[in-house]
Structure 1
Amino acid sequence: MNVSDLLLAILFFISLGLSTIQISRWKTEWEKEKALLLQEQKMREEEVEEEETDTEEDYLEDFLPAED
């Protein structure tokens, strides 16, 4: 084994380590984006539920006789 082989091996492991770090960063970013998307979806579902509730209340107010 000569010096050039040793240098190539060192460069290979350095690049492998850097690739692993980059993949880890991408994974972290993806998990953050996924959490944000899930939060947005949950908020939309809550808004839809509120709209449905409002619609039912409006219906009752419009079509049922008022109690005095």
Structure 2
Amino acid sequence: MTEKRTPDIDVPRCTGCGRCVAACPGRNLTLEVAGYRKHALLVKPRECDGCLACLPACPVRAIT
């Protein structure tokens, strides 16, 4: 049985541009504000189907 892959977000590297949020077909990602910065957050990990459409959308490669 294959394990479902979900995105892992490198929060310090994330610029909060929102491209991954826009690319996610299931709307499982959102932007979270922490202090004066924004970063991506996987809010519905159980609903993520592992398509990883967010991966190529990230311009700074903060998602693996």
Normalized per residue, the structure richer in strand is: 2
Query: Which category describes the TM-score, using the shorter chain as reference length?
Result: under 0.3
Normalized per residue, the structure richer in helix is: 1
TM-score, scaled relative to structure 1: 0.16
Based on CA coordinates, which of the two structures has the bigger radius of gyration?
1
Higher relative contact order (CA 8 A, sep 6+): 2
